[in-house]
C-alpha cells in the first residue's frame, strides 16, 4: 500500500489533476542541489550544543563562587542563554558575509 502511485491513491482517484501532480512529484524527486546537512548542523545542533556545554561550564564555575543553589542555576541558565545568543548572532554574521562574498564572485 505504501508504494501506491498518486493515480492509485483513494483521494486522487477522482481528481482531474492527478496526472499533473504525479509529474510534479517526479520532477521534485529528480531535483539536484547541494546538501543541506551542514546548514542543519549549524542552524540547529550547534546552538543546542553550545547551550549545553556553556550551561555545564557556568554551573561548575558558579558552584565555587555562589552558595545559593537556586541563584547558581538561574545565573548559569542566563549566562548559557547569552553565550548561545552570541553564538547564533556570530553564525548569522559569518553566514551573511560568506553569502555576500559568494554573490560578488559570480
The answer to whether the CB of 54 falls within 8 A of the CB of 79 is yes
0.85 exceeded by the pTM? no
Exposure string over 71-92, b if 16+ CB within 10 A, otherwise e: ebeebbeebbeebbeebbeeee
Per the listing, cell 540547529 goes with 44
The DSSP code sequence of 5-52 is -GGGSGGGTT-TTHHHHHHHHHHHHT------HHHHIIIIIHHHHHHH
> Can you give the pLDDT of all 106 residues of the chain as single tens digits?
445 554 456 666 677 776 677 677 777 777 677 778 888 888 899 999 999 999 999 999 999 999 999 999 999 999 999 999 999 999 999 988 888 766 555 4
The DSSP code sequence of 42-82 is IIIIHHHHHHHHHHHHHHHHHHTT---HHHHHHHHHHHHHH
User: Rounded to an integer, what distance in angstroms lies between the CA atom of residue 103 and that of residue 105?
Assistant: 5
Domain map (residue ranges) of the chain: 1-32, 37-105
User: Which of 52, 59, 49 is closest to 91 using CA atoms?
Assistant: 49
Amino acid at each position: 500500500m505504501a508504494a501506491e502511485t498518486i493515480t492509485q491513491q483513494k483521494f486522487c482517484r477522482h481528481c482531474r489533476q492527478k496526472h499533473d501532480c504525479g509529474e510534479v512529484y517526479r520532477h521534485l524527486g529528480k531535483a539536484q542541489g547541494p546538501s543541506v546537512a551542514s546548514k542543519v548542523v549549524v542552524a540547529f545542533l550547534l546552538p543546542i550544543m553550545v547551550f549545553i556545554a556553556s550551561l555545564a561550564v557556568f554551573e561548575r564555575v558558579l558552584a565555587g563562587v555562589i552558595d545559593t543553589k537556586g541563584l547558581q542555576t538561574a545565573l548559569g541558565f542566563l549566562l548559557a542563554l547569552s553565550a548561545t545568543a552570541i553564538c547564533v548572532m556570530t553564525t548569522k554574521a559569518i553566514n551573511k558575509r560568506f553569502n555576500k562574498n559568494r554573490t560578488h564572485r559570480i
